[in-house]
A and B are shown apart, each in its own frame.
Chain A
Amino acid sequence: MSANNLQLYDDGRLRHLLTLDGLPARILTQILDTAESFLSVSEVERDVKKVPLLRGKAIFNIFFENSTRTRTTFEIAAKRLSADVVNLNINASSQSKGETLLDTIANLSAMQADMFIVRHAAAGAGHLIARHVAPHIHIINAGDGRCSHPTQGLLDMFTLRHYKGPFHNLRVAIVGDVLHSRVARSQIHALTTLGCPDVRVVAPQTLLPRDVENLGVHVFHKMEEGIKDVDAVLMLRLQNERMRGARLPSAGEYFKHWGLTPDKLKRAKPDAIVMHPGPMNRGVEIDSAVADGMQSVILSQVTFGIAVRMAVMSILAGNQV
């Protein structure tokens, strides 16, 4: 697989994290296990909530698209590893003056960068950068177009494993706007690689990619059937900006059929967990009573996201040529 030629060294160690598509289970599991250890760095018992692992490394958070949660948790993760972090909001910098993506990266590399965390609206932006950086520099894709969001997929796997145990016993439903969601793609790749036997996508036909079955998922067009007896419901954000198109009638109508309400959630197993990558549209894809309810683990996802990102950064930084 071409992405793996880029993101793995010849000996199979991780060099960049660009996509979960094709990434072997052994690497996914290594990241999840390592993240388990990093959870203890944030414990209340610790006076100093950081470790010296990436002392002296320069990490650049380059976001060409808006983000609060992802950018902040990457920043906190880097700081807990004692790295120096620089945040770049590219809308407000030289790119608006016409600098190309690769020129921006070349300039930052000249400032002795060790790692770039990149979010970009264009699919494959991380791959492009990975092809052009010096051998010691690592790239983490923090979301590219509709394509992939690997650290979100990983933190979702961490959350699932934390609450529900091994993947080979699980039935998981991914519900909502799968078509526009890079999160859904990363979740599907991770779940199938880790051996989850029943991965479901639950959405109206208009919000599913063509040939989605080829990804190894079961497709449901009725919410009540799709989430029946599942261990976890992974909600997706409905991208409001798409509402104007012909794909959907209205937010109210969407909520009626596809919004997760306490009533619909009763179809899942009684101890099923509810996840959401944020930001949530309350009253569109999820009812507040569910988002804030006993089965919601949405805020744990955010906390676990820090440990998972610490794991990815430290594994990458430690893997040199």
Chain B
Amino acid sequence: MPKQLPPPEQLIDLLAEQIKPHIRAKCALVGIHTGGVWIMDALAERLGQDLPRGVLDIAFYRDDFSRIGLHPETKPSHLPFDVEDRNILLIDDVLYTGRTIRAAMNLLFDYGRPAAIKLAVLVDRGGRELPVCADFFGLKLDLASDEHISLENNATEGLHFVMKRKT
């Protein structure tokens, strides 16, 4: 388990630099609840353009519903723009199995047919179970399956990582 992780804000700077040259016409940012939305908002500031923003909650598209039931806290999805022919930048905090991204893409397609989707994540922690990869990432880790990383946010500490080992 890595002892010291760079602060999330620094990784968001890195992401913004990578993404900037790729901003094209008809581009929109889409954050996945909840961590992805924090990063989207921080990225939007750094990208300095007035890009349309949407939020997705993938609870209704999860592939483990029949095993664990409905997620106890769902949030509404909201895409205040036409997805049809849009260049979508999909944003999440941690990329792990790839199942969340699969669900998010299915959800996006229920809104329309985007021209393209690119994926930006703060951390790629390895452990993919589906053929998904990030176009932009802030940090790449190779964590074991019993290691867990998450992005948290609160008023005192701001954005910060929490690392745990599952028991």
Contacts and interface: CB of A to CB of B under 8 A. Distances in A.
Contacts of B111: 45-48
Interface in B56-85: 57, 59-61, 65-66, 68-70, 72-84
Contacts of A51: 60-61, 110
A36 B69 contact: no
Contacts of A33: 73-74
A51 B77 CA distance: 12
A31 to B, nearest CB: 11
12 contacts: A13-B69, A34-B70, A45-B82, A45-B83, A48-B109, A52-B106, A53-B65, A53-B70, A314-B70, A315-B70, A318-B65, A318-B68
A53 B110 CA distance: 13
Contacts of B74: 33-34, 37
Interface of A: 13, 30, 33-34, 36-41, 45-48, 50-53, 314-315, 317-320
Interface bin, chain B? 20 to 34
Instruction: List the 9 closest pairs (A to B, CB-CB), nearest first.
Output: A318-B69, A51-B60, A48-B110, A37-B74, A318-B70, A40-B76, A37-B76, A53-B60, A40-B77
Contacts of A46: 110-111
B80 A30 contact: no
Determine the main DSSP class of A at the interface with B. Answer: helix
B112 interface: yes
Contacts of B80: 45
Contacts of B109: 48
B69 A37 contact: no
Nearest to A320: B69
B110 to A, nearest CB: 4
